[in-house]
């Protein structure tokens, strides 16, 4: 991903400010300064008709449809496209000064400032302009799109001729000459239409108001836009109206006295036949007439109040980085502006700021954006889920077209029909079903809205579970596991594969949840259970099938790498030639045929890594780390959905700096136009995931079944991170500093959370402060060669075996098998000696080595502890520092017993649970996780090189016994130097 990380807006906590008029910035600023209320979306172009890029106005869910023309069609392909429409522009106000048009590219700009005020929801422009003939004009325009009044927007246009009298004309228009953007070769921009889609029907002019009605060409939807204008001035003026094809204008001609204030207030309303079946013209006219009576100030204060409440619940405060603070608030503000709140619409991928992705709703909404609304604005979250229920019938039809049972939600749509023309990265992304259910579950668990579950949720849940069972099969060639074949996961650089791990895991959870809710409903509300199962003719036997499919779900784990394979074929492909790919060839999708991309190991965005975040409780930290280490270098980040997930995953495994770097790509992605395409609209999912990255990333929150877990850590540059969550009606504040975190329950009944594995109760109105400062909290010991000199006995035992096998064995070779498991050690020896044995023979050999080793350790006693170890263990105990043993030796338990130090050890890792041995960090991570200590607060002590590697890669402080271990953070000759005070000194 190219990083065009240059900010054009000065740092400001609550505003986005443009300080000069820069024509180059016009396209991008039309997105940045766009206003919306979840229904209306108004581009950030000027009121005058000069200096614009696209001049867009969208209404959420208002679209035109056309048949999709395929070169080669096939059965079941999506039939019609749906494209959000650029509608009547109602915000035009042209100003003429002594007949010269006010135009920023003529005359002289003496002062210019435009700002998006996110506290008040206003776009404000202040200009001092000198006309070509020398009149100085001061202009101040405030634009608002009302959150409380879905159909309404308002503009206050104040103008003053500062030095001389002037003849001013203010021409307030409705303009129906609008078109959608034309598409070039970038599939992400959208598709244009041939000719004019909005057919003019009626224009009504009435005093200071006007109304235009249009109808769409193919779908015959009605669109009405009305305006009312009110002029406030002491100057003399006349008013007239004007009408031309597709335009209506109210024109005020004013004898503007020098310095006299003139203010035009304009109200604009939109109604369509998709909203209402009543008399649209009446509704729109009534709306603007009433608005005119109330006046602009009334609406400005409504807007302020609305946002006050919004920010109180939604704001995240970051101390120490004003650029991030600004980017974050900008993102949250745009999310608010994008979210349909009527239950009939959702959140388009580009918000209401562009035609990119044609105004469609994708999984972006549920996976990337909805968590923010669930935790901060649950009412909006419910509306978004209601939208999914509204299209459930169409999802049932789609499943039927796809020869399946139940319901299949469309990959992209406005009104519920599948509209993706490219099925490999469309319909094949069946995971959207499970994504919707995942988000719904989060909503139900967090909000506790059982009414929604009963009224709509359970039906969606059961129908999607039904779908999975009908899609998959128990395949004999796969050990009779339940397989989902021919699917595409989140990573669109791999398509139509078998057993995409993300899809299988998400489907598994979908099925498990369906089984759980079916049982719960049956027990707790048999009436509702009967109603729902009756409605969808669900048989009890189907629920058993869900259970079997979930339990039998095939999850592809690759033993060799110790990772989950992205799908059945992924690891058998060639790795993409990253070094040979020029920087300009990214994003790959614009430079390579899909087949070229599909046949390589290369990712557009995280896939397995995303699953490991969403279902974190199913994986060990070691698995998460190995998967991140494997997949991250293969991830191009060509999707804007990428860096946030990479950031969250990195934060969890202790890669805090990497997490921060990825976070920075998300936090200001649009404000800094990092992807270079913000002129086509914001990246809603990336905006939503800024919130995810902060809450799930740096605050380390996880939420499973309504319970919250925290493990916070701030990135270096920040001093503090503070935010609120609404959980089951409670208001919880989390305030994270460098040294401590404070949990406050502002309202609602007592609540318990889990902080780093420890259950923590917070009482109403009370705070709980927990220390998170960096300090030694645990020491994890290797055993052989660290606690006792059994490393020497291992040496002797291997030496004896090697002599017998006539393999040369010396101290140097011994170094390379230190810390290595028994069988792996033998393999190293045999390789060294050029010998080959069968598995059975190898078993006999390792057994005989072990017999000899056992005879050597049988006399070990407490006195065999290496120097200073006893004292160190006791000192650690005394200070409350946890102690663990991380050895792959199967004899460790016995050795510890003989040494009589069992009571001093809090936890010993059972080597049989370790999937990947040292140098993989797994064994150390298991120890730390078990002790609930963050890795950075752990110390690992080792006498083997592989051990030091493992400790370091676990993100812990490493102590090396033996001067040859140069990579250790603290390397010592032997244990005689190993004291707690020495450790503390070097750790600091
Ligand atoms: C430790 C030792 C190795 C030994 C391994 C397996 O890591 O450092 O030298 O090979 O444990 O020990 P075991 O007792 O199971 O053979
Ligand atoms: Mg050792």
99-134 residue pLDDT tens: 999 999 999 999 999 999 999 999 999 999 999 999
pLDDT per position as a tens digit, 791-837: 999 999 999 999 999 999 999 999 999 999 999 999 999 999 999 99
Which ligand lies nearest to the CA atom of residue 821 in the structure?
A: 1
> DSSP character for 138?
E
| Band of residue 196 on the pLDDT scale cut at 50, 70, 90 | confident
Average pLDDT (520-544) is: 98
pLDDT per position as a tens digit, 560-613: 999 999 999 999 999 999 999 999 999 999 999 999 999 999 999 999 999 999
Atom of ligand 1 nearest to the CA of 849: 16
Q: Is residue 449 pLDDT above 80, yes or no?
A: yes
What angle do helix axes 540-552 and 501-524 make, rounded to 10 degrees? 140
CB hemisphere CA count around 288 (13 angstroms): 28
pLDDT per position as a tens digit, 11-47: 999 999 999 999 999 999 999 999 999 999 999 999 9
* Distance (Å) of CA 533 to CA 249, 385, 508, 828, 977: 57, 21, 21, 61, 71
| Band of residue 209 on the pLDDT scale cut at 50, 70, 90 | very high
- CA-nearest residue, atom 13 of ligand 1: 889
The rounded Å distance from CA 431 to ligand 2 centre is 46
Helices (H), 726-808: 790-805
The rounded Å distance from CA 557 to ligand 1 centre is 26
795, 885, 888, 944: residue to mutate for ligand 1 pocket, most atoms within 8 A of CB:
888
Backbone angles phi, psi at 734, to 5 degrees: -120, 120
- CA-nearest residue, atom 6 of ligand 1: 889
819, 829, 960: residue to mutate for ligand 1 pocket, most atoms within 8 A of CB:
819
Atom of ligand 1 nearest to the CA of 850: 16
Quote the CA–CA distance of 783 and 886 in Å, as a whole number: 7
Q: Which residue has the tokens 């991570």?
A: 925
**pLDDT value for 1:** 38
The secondary element (H helix, E strand) that includes residue 156 is strand 152-161
Q: Is residue 890 within 8 Å of residue 794, measured between CB atoms?
A: no
Which ligand lies nearest to the CA atom of residue 794 in the structure?
A: 1
824, 825, 826: residue to mutate for ligand 1 pocket, most atoms within 8 A of CB:
825
- What percentage of the chain reaches a pLDDT higher than 90? 95
**pLDDT value for 188:** 60
Atom of ligand 1 nearest to the CA of 890: 15
The rounded Å distance from CA 351 to ligand 1 centre is 58
Pocket of ligand 1 (CB under 6 A): 784, 791, 794, 817-822, 825, 850, 887-891, 944
Which ligand lies nearest to the CA atom of residue 942 in the structure?
A: 2
Backbone angles phi, psi at 119, to 5 degrees: -80, -35
Q: Is residue 773 within 8 Å of residue 737, measured between CB atoms?
A: no
**pLDDT value for 981:** 96
Average pLDDT (523-541) is: 98
Which ligand lies nearest to the CA atom of residue 801 in the structure?
A: 1
Quote the CA–CA distance of 60 and 145 in Å, as a whole number: 13
Average pLDDT (445-458) is: 98
CA 323, 328, 333, 339 dihedral sign is: positive
Average pLDDT (78-82) is: 96
Which ligand lies nearest to the CA atom of residue 793 in the structure?
A: 1
CA 714 to chain centre: 18
The rounded Å distance from CA 790 to ligand 2 centre is 8
Q: Is residue 189 pLDDT above 70, yes or no?
A: no
CA 553, 389, 343, 747 dihedral sign is: negative
DSSP strand pairing (100-101 vs 89-97): antiparallel
797, 801, 817, 821: residue to mutate for ligand 1 pocket, most atoms within 8 A of CB:
821
Q: Is residue 443 pLDDT above 60, yes or no?
A: yes
- What percentage of the chain reaches a pLDDT higher than 70? 98
**pLDDT value for 191:** 65
**pLDDT value for 2:** 40
The rounded Å distance from CA 756 to ligand 2 centre is 29
Q: 137 - beta bridge partners?
A: 129, 161
DSSP SS3 for 722: strand
CB burial of residue 818 (10 Å; 0-12, 13-18, 19+): buried
* Dihedral-angle region of residue 264 (phi above 0 means left; psi in -120 to 50 means alpha; beta otherwise): beta
pLDDT per position as a tens digit, 956-981: 999 999 989 999 999 999 999 999 99
* Distance (Å) of CA 353 to CA 84, 85, 324, 345, 670: 11, 12, 22, 15, 12
pLDDT per position as a tens digit, 504-520: 999 999 999 999 999 99
Quote the CA–CA distance of 353 and 58 in Å, as a whole number: 8
Atom of ligand 1 nearest to the CA of 918: 7
**pLDDT value for 193:** 78
Quote the CA–CA distance of 450 and 456 in Å, as a whole number: 10
The rounded Å distance from CA 546 to ligand 1 centre is 44
**pLDDT value for 747:** 96
- CA-nearest residue, atom 16 of ligand 1: 822
Average pLDDT (873-887) is: 97
* Distance (Å) of CA 957 to CA 716, 720, 954, 969: 18, 25, 9, 6
- CA-nearest residue, atom 12 of ligand 1: 889
Quote the CA–CA distance of 113 and 92 in Å, as a whole number: 19
Average pLDDT (870-876) is: 97
Produce one character per residue of 27-42: b if its CB has 16 or more CB atoms within 10 Å, e if not.
bbbbbbbbbbbbbbbb
Atom of ligand 1 nearest to the CA of 785: 8
Atom of ligand 1 nearest to the CA of 891: 14
**pLDDT value for 173:** 98
Extract the tokens encoding 929: 């996780």
The rounded Å distance from CA 942 to ligand 2 centre is 6
The rounded Å distance from CA 846 to ligand 1 centre is 11
* Distance (Å) of CA 361 to CA 82, 338, 901: 11, 11, 61
Average pLDDT (693-711) is: 96
- CA-nearest residue, atom 14 of ligand 1: 889
| Band of residue 4 on the pLDDT scale cut at 50, 70, 90 | very low
Tell me how long the chain is.
988
pTM: 0.94
Quote the CA–CA distance of 795 and 799 in Å, as a whole number: 6
Nearest to 404 by CA among 466, 458, 461: 466
| Positions marked active-site | 492
**pLDDT value for 195:** 78
Q: Which residue has the tokens 């020491």?
A: 779
DSSP SS3 for 168: strand
DSSP SS3 for 390: helix
DSSP state string for 611-663: HHHHTGGGS-HHHHHHHHHHHGGGB---STTHHHHHHHHHHHTT-HHHHHHHH
Extract the tokens encoding 936: 């950075």
Q: Is residue 192 pLDDT above 80, yes or no?
A: no
Helix and strand element counts for the chain (H, E):
28, 40
**pLDDT value for 186:** 63
Average model confidence (pLDDT) across the chain: 96
Extract the tokens encoding 681: 């609209």
Quote the CA–CA distance of 177 and 197 in Å, as a whole number: 10
Q: Is residue 915 within 8 Å of residue 818, measured between CB atoms?
A: no
> DSSP character for 365?
I
């Amino acid at each position: 991903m190219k990083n065009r990380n240059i900010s054009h807006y000065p740092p400001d906590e609550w505003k986005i400010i443009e300080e000069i008029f820069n024509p180059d910035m016009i396209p991008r600023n039309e997105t940045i300064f766009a206003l919306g209320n979840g229904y209306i979306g108004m581009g950030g172009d000027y009121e005058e008709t000069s200096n614009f890029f696209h001049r867009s106005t969208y209404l959420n869910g208002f679209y035109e449809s056309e048949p999709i023309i395929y070169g080669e069609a096939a059965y079941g392909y999506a039939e019609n496209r749906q494209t959000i429409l650029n509608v009547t522009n109602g915000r035009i106000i042209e100003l003429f000064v002594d007949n010269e048009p006010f135009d920023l590219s003529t005359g002289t700009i003496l002062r210019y400032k435009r700002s998006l005020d996110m506290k008040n929801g206003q776009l404000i422009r202040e200009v001092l302009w000198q006309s070509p003939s020398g009149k100085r004009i001061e202009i101040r325009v405030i634009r608002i799109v009302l959150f409380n009044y879905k159909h309404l927007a308002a503009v206050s246009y104040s103008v003053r001729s500062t030095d001389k009298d002037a003849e001013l004309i203010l021409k307030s228009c409705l303009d129906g000459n609008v078109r959608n953007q034309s598409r070039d070769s970038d599939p992400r921009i959208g598709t244009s239409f041939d000719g004019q889609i909005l057919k003019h029907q009626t224009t009504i002019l009435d005093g200071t108001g006007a109304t235009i009605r249009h109808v769409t060409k193919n779908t015959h939807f009605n669109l009405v836009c009305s305006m009312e204008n009110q002029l406030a001035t002491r100057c003399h003026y006349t008013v007239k109206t004007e009408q031309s094809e597709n335009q209506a204008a109210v024109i005020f001609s004013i004898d503007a006295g020098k310095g006299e204030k003139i203010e035009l207030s304009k109200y604009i309303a939109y109604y369509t036949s998709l909203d209402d079946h009543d008399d649209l013209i009446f509704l729109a006219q009534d709306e603007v007439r009433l608005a005119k009576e109330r006046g602009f100030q009334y609406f400005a204060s409504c807007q302020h109040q609305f946002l006050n409440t919004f920010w109180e619940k939604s704001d995240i405060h970051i101390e120490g980085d004003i650029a991030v603070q600004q980017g974050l608030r900008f993102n949250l503000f745009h999310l608010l502006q994008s979210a349909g709140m009527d239950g009939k619409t959702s959140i388009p991928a580009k918000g209401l700021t562009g035609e990119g992705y044609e105004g469609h709703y994708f999984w972006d909404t549920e996976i990337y954006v909805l968590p923010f609304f669930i935790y901060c604005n649950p009412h909006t979250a419910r509306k978004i889920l209601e939208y999914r229920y509204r299209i459930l019938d169409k999802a049932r039809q789609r499943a039927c077209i796809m020869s399946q049972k139940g319901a299949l939600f469309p990959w992209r749509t406005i009104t519920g029909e599948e509209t993706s023309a490219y099925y490999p990265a469309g319909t094949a992304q069946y995971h959207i079903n499970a994504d919707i259910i995942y988000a719904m579950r989060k909503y139900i668990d967090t909000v506790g809205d059982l009414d929604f579950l009963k009224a709509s949720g359970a039906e969606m849940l059961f129908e999607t579970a039904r779908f999975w069972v009908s899609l998959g099969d128990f395949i004999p060639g796969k050990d009779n596991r339940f397989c989902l074949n021919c699917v595409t996961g989140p990573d669109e650089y791999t398509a139509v594969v078998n057993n995409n791990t993300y899809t299988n895991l998400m489907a598994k959870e979908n099925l498990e949840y369906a089984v759980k809710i079916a049982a719960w409903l049956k027990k707790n509300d048999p009436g509702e259970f009967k109603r729902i199962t009756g409605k969808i003719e669900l048989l009890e036997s189907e629920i058993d099938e869900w259970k079997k499919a979930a339990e039998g779900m095939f999850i592809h784990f690759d033993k060799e790498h110790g990772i989950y394979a992205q799908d059945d074929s992924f690891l058998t492909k060639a790795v993409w030639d990253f070094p040979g790919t020029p920087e300009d060839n990214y994003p790959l999708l614009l430079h390579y045929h899909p087949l070229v991309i599909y046949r390589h190991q290369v990712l557009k965005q995280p896939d397995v890594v995303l699953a490991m975040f969403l279902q974190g409780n199913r994986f060990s930290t070691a698995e998460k780390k190995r998967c991140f280490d494997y997949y991250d270098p293969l991830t191009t980040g060509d999707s804007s959905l990428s860096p946030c997930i990479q950031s969250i995953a990195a934060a969890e495994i202790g890669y805090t700096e990497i997490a921060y770097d990825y976070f920075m790509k998300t936090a200001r992605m649009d404000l800094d136009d990092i992807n270079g395409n913000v002129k086509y609209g914001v990246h809603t999912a990336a905006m939503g995931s800024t919130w995810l990255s902060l809450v799930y990333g740096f605050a380390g929150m996880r939420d499973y079944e309504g319970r919250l877990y925290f493990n916070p850590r701030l990135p270096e540059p920040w001093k503090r991170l503070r935010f609120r969550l609404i959980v089951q009606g409670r208001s919880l504040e989390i305030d994270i500093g460098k040294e401590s975190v404070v949990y406050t329950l502002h309202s609602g009944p007592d609540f318990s959370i889990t902080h780093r594995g420890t259950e923590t109760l917070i009482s109403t109105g009370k705070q709980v402060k927990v220390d998170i400062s960096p300090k030694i909290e645990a020491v994890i010991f290797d055993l052989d060669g660290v606690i006792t000199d059994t490393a020497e006995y291992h040496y002797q035992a291997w030496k004896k075996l090697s002599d017998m096998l006539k393999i040369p064995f010396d101290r140097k070779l011994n170094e390379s098998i230190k810390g290595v498991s028994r069988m792996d050690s033998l393999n190293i020896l045999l390789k060294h000696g050029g010998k080959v044995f069968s598995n059975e023979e190898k078993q006999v050999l390792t057994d005989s080595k072990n017999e000899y080793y056992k005879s050597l350790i049988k006399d070990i006693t407490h006195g065999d502890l290496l120097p200073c170890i006893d004292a160190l263990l006791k000192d650690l105990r005394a200070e409350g520092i946890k102690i663990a043993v991380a050895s792959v030796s199967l004899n460790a338990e016995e050795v510890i017993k003989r040494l009589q130090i069992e009571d001093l050890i809090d936890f010993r890792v059972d080597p049989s649970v370790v999937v990947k041995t040292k140098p993989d960090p797994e064994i150390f991570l298991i120890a730390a996780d078990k002790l609930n200590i963050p890795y950075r607060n752990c110390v690992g002590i080792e006498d083997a090189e592989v051990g030091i590697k493992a400790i370091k890669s676990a993100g812990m402080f490493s102590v090396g016994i033996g001067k040859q271990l140069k990579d250790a953070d603290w390397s010592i000759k032997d244990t005689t130097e190993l004291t707690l005070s020495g450790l503390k000194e070097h750790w600091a």
